[in-house]
Amino acid sequence: MRHLMSPLDFSVEEVAQLLDLARDIEASPEKYAHICDGKKLATIFYEPSTRTRLSFEAAMMNLGGNVLGFSSAASSSASKGESVADTIRMISCYADICAIRHPKEGAPMVASMHSSIPVINAGDGGHQHPTQTLTDLMTIRSLKGRLDNITIGLCGDLKFGRTVHSLINALVRYENVKFILISPEELKLPGYVREDVIKKNGYEYKEVERLEEVMPELDILYMTRVQQERFFNEEDYVRMKDFYILDNAKMSLARPDMLVLHPLPRVNEIAVEVDADPRAVYFKQVQYGVYVRMALILTLLELKG
Amino acid sequence: MRHLMSPLDFSVEEVAQLLDLARDIEASPEKYAHICDGKKLATIFYEPSTRTRLSFEAAMMNLGGNVLGFSSAASSSASKGESVADTIRMISCYADICAIRHPKEGAPMVASMHSSIPVINAGDGGHQHPTQTLTDLMTIRSLKGRLDNITIGLCGDLKFGRTVHSLINALVRYENVKFILISPEELKLPGYVREDVIKKNGYEYKEVERLEEVMPELDILYMTRVQQERFFNEEDYVRMKDFYILDNAKMSLARPDMLVLHPLPRVNEIAVEVDADPRAVYFKQVQYGVYVRMALILTLLELKG
Amino acid sequence: MRHLMSPLDFSVEEVAQLLDLARDIEASPEKYAHICDGKKLATIFYEPSTRTRLSFEAAMMNLGGNVLGFSSAASSSASKGESVADTIRMISCYADICAIRHPKEGAPMVASMHSSIPVINAGDGGHQHPTQTLTDLMTIRSLKGRLDNITIGLCGDLKFGRTVHSLINALVRYENVKFILISPEELKLPGYVREDVIKKNGYEYKEVERLEEVMPELDILYMTRVQQERFFNEEDYVRMKDFYILDNAKMSLARPDMLVLHPLPRVNEIAVEVDADPRAVYFKQVQYGVYVRMALILTLLELKG
């Protein structure tokens, strides 16, 4: 039995198979509409995340399966002092597969060690969020046609941004990827990613402070939210949050085939006017997220289309 | 693609078609039991409303469909600052149709403007609650046999009562409806409904302070709750809340075929002893609400029985 | 139409039939996978209880049915002052069967009196929790092969422990059951159970303070949680909570075929090291809980396999 804790749990070949399956699901959803009839997904969310939870639930329902679970710790037995290990043993009696989100790093790993059903990490604190990364990969591959030979700009909060670290780790398995790191000094990519992941693996990168100056080079622009809760004081947040706002003026500097991705939710880091630009694919990304999760559920349950 | 924002979105003919469909669903539910197989309804409730949410969910399940969503803003991405426009774009990737409830007037309208799936307004503040109105119309038509030629008493909080305003707007499209407005001075029907809707359209009405004096005239008595949160001070609430309580003594003054409706939940404005009276149809009204919502889902999804 | 308020609502013969049905479901789940197609279970939880709620939901889904409801009072119309009687009348329009949990004793009974669908008490304060008791009985009968001729140790909080009182009431309908009551002086079994249930029915019992001294005698050890909220002061709780912790040292004193049950969630009253012991069956108990609830839903809906 297999779990998904990190996007690196799958080899490059396995990622390719997963994305191929997701593409086939996109092309022929009716083939998969009853493949999980009688199966149940448990969504065990110790902190709310509507987007991720509903994406998993839509995915399971698209496969014909059912969903049960809880959407916040308040309505769970965690409030009675139960351990994650005991909770997953209980959930193993109720469902065939489980997606777990937890504010503590490593909680999904603990769950997977005591589970008798496949466990998917649906986000553990600032640590991993592998289905977001798989979604990003599918979006790039589907709309760009490739995962290698790309120049990707990563913009915003690169210090705390879990999705950015995770995406970098996933992309250094493909050839000739160039990273442009766009952030204020205070939110630069940490050394353990810049040095140990990008540089050590022999990939090219550069760090810049202004989005405008690199727009023309990019194949992909990956925008991220500057989360207020990551800041220690209000003043710093207010000063920096608007530094890296994407608008039509900046978009006019980019290539006609550049793609803008965003893990969402966005607050104001992408102006609403950009939504109408065909290069803005962050809502398509949401749809790809459903296909990837469908493919993942099938893969972990070892079901064929 | 069509949305439902206000009960007036449907013409009189379309309302008749919808209620005909609801009646056929009531008569032959098995014909409709699989018509939404593989479809998903999203219930996006930014404020809790068990009655409305579960009515929509039961409706979709009765049609063979699935349901996903959230039941309060706390467990949604709204708490991360996401706009309704972005949320509905996400939901459009997850579901085939959406029912949205929001404390702010106009939020469902904003959602409908950015949605790629049909959006149903399931209540927006004090503004509109169209499926309640359609439920009221079905209840009257089913049990009274007609929507024209009726004398309807509207009792309680006519000032803030959204369902009352909405029902009046819906009824002034039928012939010879007479309105009896029963409320304390402080909670009288606002001029923009009394003058601009009832009077301007040439309908008869009268305003009274005592329920007893008009009971014998009524074909329909529409009771409403006096909501504590609508009052500015506790004292006013306590003084007025019991003025308009319906009990068996008052019921004895009414015609044998008068019907009592109530949008529910009731607190104490209808004494429990009245429940046993066959003229009390407020629980039947709940059941009609399910049929109407089933008909509405089918209509907006353009599915036939 | 029949409800389940107390485990004693079923006669000994009816319990045997229910457990036979549950055993058949365990053996041939596919026979029952579509028996509730098109049916709906409402889970009406006025206080959170993930374990019980999800067990009911998994049970209904395993039978092919759908689930709707709410998981805490905050998201229900109770907050608008609606009575349980009115809520169940509404729920009767939405679902075919209902499981209700309420902090107030007797609330499920009130619901059953106004319901037009079968109502299951899913726990009412410190009063009854009949599906837990049926689960306990199924676990003992399945793994021990009998409900009579057993010596059962009940350990922990016997004063406030609803499941313990309920299990004792259920077991005094079988022959030759011996009760060993293991608790601190402060949490002893109340006289109205010890005298009026055990002694009056002619059953043997003894009360001890130390778990070790009785381990060798037991066929079944039923462990319970010492709930902090039952104590009037923190000091008493801290002093007593670790008195009755089951660990491998104590397990080594027990018979090779003794079974350890626990209604869960456990906090620290059973050391994690015990989980690996084949005599620890508290997670199997969770699985039996699903089968019992499936059998119960079928029985109350009068459906055959």
Q: Per residue of chain A (305 residues), give pLDDT as tens.
A: 999 999 999 999 999 999 999 999 999 999 999 999 999 999 999 999 999 999 999 999 999 999 999 998 776 656 677 899 999 999 999 999 999 999 999 999 999 999 999 999 999 988 889 999 999 999 999 999 999 999 999 999 899 888 999 999 999 999 999 999 998 888 899 999 999 999 999 999 999 988 989 999 999 999 998 767 666 678 877 776 667 889 999 999 999 999 999 999 988 899 999 999 999 999 999 999 999 999 999 999 999 76
Question: Quick check: A48 and B94 CB within 8 A?
Answer: no
Q: Is the pLDDT of residue B189 over 80?
A: yes
Long-range contacts of the stretch A73-78 (C-beta < 8 A, 24+): A73/A46, A73/A47, A74/C48, A74/C72, A75/C48, A75/C50, A75/C71, A75/C72, A76/A44, A76/A46, A76/C48, A76/C50, A77/C49, A77/C50, A77/C51, A77/C265, A78/A46
CA distances (Å), C78 to each of A96, C86, C219, C286, in order? 34, 10, 45, 30
Residue of A129, A178, A225, A262 with catalytic role: A129
3-state class of C167 per DSSP? helix
Task: Pick the residue of A46, A49, A53, A54 with the most B CBs within 10 A to test the interface with B by mutation.
Answer: A54
d(CA A121, CA C222): 34
User: What tokens were used for B94?
Assistant: 């997850």
Would residue C152 count as lying in a domain? yes
Whether omega before A265 lies within 30 degrees of 0, making that bond cis, reads yes
Residue A67's H or E segment, with its range, is strand A66-70
First and final CA of chain B: distance in angstroms? 19
CATH number for A82: 3.40.50.1370
Same domain? For B98 and B43 the reply is yes
Same domain? For C20 and C34 the reply is yes
Q: How many CA atoms lie within 13 A of A128 on its CB side?
A: 20
Residues forming beta bridges with residue C42, ordered by sequence position: C68, C98
Same domain? For C89 and C224 the reply is no
Strand order in the sheet with A66-70: A66-70, A40-45, A97-102, A119-124
User: What tokens were used for A217?
Assistant: 């080079």
Chain B: closest CA distance from residue A287 (Å): 5
Chain C residue nearest residue B66, CA to CA: C66
Same domain? For A110 and A140 the reply is no
Task: Check if the beta carbon of residue B65 is closer than 8 Å to that of residue B80.
Answer: no
Would residue A2 count as lying in a domain? no
Residue C48's H or E segment, with its range, is none
Same domain? For A61 and A206 the reply is no
pLDDT reported for residue C234: 81
Chains that touch A (3 or more CB pairs under 8 A): B, C
Contacts of residue C176, Cβ cutoff 8 Å, sequence gap at least 6: C148, C149, C150
Residue of C3, C40, C43, C52 with catalytic role: C52
Contacts of residue C49, Cβ cutoff 8 Å, sequence gap at least 6: A77, C101, C122, C123
Same domain? For B157 and B270 the reply is yes
Chain C: closest CA distance from residue B292 (Å): 13
Nearest partner of C40 among C63, C18, C21, C22, judged by Cα: C63
Would residue A61 count as lying in a domain? yes
d(CA B261, CA B222): 5
What average pLDDT does range C12-20 have in this prediction? 98
**How far is Cα of residue A240 from the mean position of the Cα atoms in its chain?**
24
∠ CA B225-B284-B206, nearest 5°, is 45
pLDDT reported for residue C92: 98
pLDDT reported for residue C206: 97
Q: Strands A150-155 and C40-45, how do they pair?
A: unpaired
**How far is Cα of residue B145 from the mean position of the Cα atoms in its chain?**
19
In chain B, residues with a C-beta closer than 8 Å to the C-beta of A64 are: 38
d(CA C204, CA C129): 25
Question: Quick check: B61 and C69 CB within 8 A?
Answer: no
Would residue A1 count as lying in a domain? no
Would residue B305 count as lying in a domain? no
pLDDT reported for residue C257: 98
Same domain? For A120 and A155 the reply is no
Strand order in the sheet with B97-102: B66-70, B40-45, B97-102, B119-124
Contacts of residue B75, Cβ cutoff 8 Å, sequence gap at least 6: A48, A50, A71, A72
Same domain? For A280 and A236 the reply is yes
Same domain? For C230 and C296 the reply is no
Q: What is the pLDDT of residues B77-119, one digit of tens each?
A: 566 778 999 999 999 999 999 999 999 999 999 999 999 999 9
Question: Quick check: A68 and C72 CB within 8 A?
Answer: no
Same domain? For B44 and B183 the reply is no
Question: Quick check: A89 and C272 CB within 8 A?
Answer: no
CA distances (Å), C130 to each of B138, C142, C162, C291, in order? 40, 18, 10, 14
Would residue C204 count as lying in a domain? yes
Q: Tell which phi-psi region holds residue B152, choosing left (phi > 0), alpha (psi between -120 and 50) or beta.
A: beta
pLDDT reported for residue B223: 97
d(CA B191, CA B199): 10
Would residue B259 count as lying in a domain? yes
CA distances (Å), A79 to each of A84, B35, C143, in order? 11, 41, 31
pLDDT reported for residue C147: 98
Same domain? For C100 and C160 the reply is no
First and final CA of chain A: distance in angstroms? 19
Same domain? For B27 and B39 the reply is yes
- Residue A78 touches partner B, C-beta closer than 8 Å: no
Hey, which bits of chain C come out as E strands?
40-45, 66-70, 97-102, 119-124, 150-155, 177-182, 205-208, 220-223, 259-261
Question: Quick check: C57 and A94 CB within 8 A?
Answer: yes
State which amino acid sits at residue B62: N
Would residue A31 count as lying in a domain? yes
Residue of C40, C53, C102, C129 with catalytic role: C129
Nearest partner of C90 among B39, B117, B49, judged by Cα: B49
Q: Is the pLDDT of residue C244 over 90?
A: no
Number of domains in chain A: 2
- Residue C68 touches partner B, C-beta closer than 8 Å: yes
Question: Quick check: C76 and B267 CB within 8 A?
Answer: no
Other CB atoms within 10 A of residue A37 CB: 13
**Domain span holding position C76:** 7-128+289-300
Chain B: closest CA distance from residue C95 (Å): 7
Q: What is the pLDDT of residues B190-224, one digit of tens each?
A: 999 999 999 999 999 999 988 989 999 999 999 99
